[in-house]
Amino acid sequence: MSAKKAKTADDQESTQPIAENRKAFHDYHILETFEAGIALLGTEVKGIREGQANLRDSFARVDKGEVWLFNVHINPYSHRGYVDHDPKRKRRLLLHKAEIRKLIGKTVEKGLTLVPTRLYFKNGKVKVSLALAKGKQDYDKRETMRRREVDRETRAAVKERVRR
């Protein structure tokens, strides 16, 4: 008999995202995702633990063999002393060299972009889910919304049919 492991604080922590970029799923076709660490300052980590992070309008870029995250807004920690950080400073992402080489090839050749989709804790470390994405046209966005609406109506009809 195998005993089930009780959920630890780390397991629960990693399942709950700190910040999500829902707009990315609306504006882009997500092709592939990567998990990356972020080089942060101590007050930034504490600010993130307070839930003070925003991924809207953020993006990543490969520059001189390193991946950088731009436009992520992390509010300063509320109980900080004299130490402060710029809320929208660029932050280095921690990826393996092979992953960076792969990203360089795909972003340069195919014209794809890097978009952060989720910010979360994993084993006490802040991680970001980075998506390799292709921009959607307006008609793609309308088609996605139409498909979502049809699915919602179908689920409602099935649920109503089961009730009777």
The pLDDT of residue 2 is: 46
d(CA 18, CA 16): 6
3-class DSSP string for 85-143: CCCCCCEEEECCHHHHHHHHHHHHHCCCEEEEEEEEEECCEEEEEEEEEEECCHHHHHH
pLDDT of residue 68: 92
Whether residue 52 contacts residue 157, with contact meaning beta carbons closer than 8 Å, is answered with no
Q: What is the pLDDT of residue 83?
A: 67
Name which of 13-22, 54-63, 83-92 the model is least confident about: 13-22
> How high is the pLDDT of residue 55?
87
Q: pLDDT at residue 9 above 70?
A: no
User: Could you give all domains of the chain from N- to C-terminal order, each with its CATH number?
Assistant: 14-136 (2.40.280.10)
* pTM of the entire predicted model: 0.71
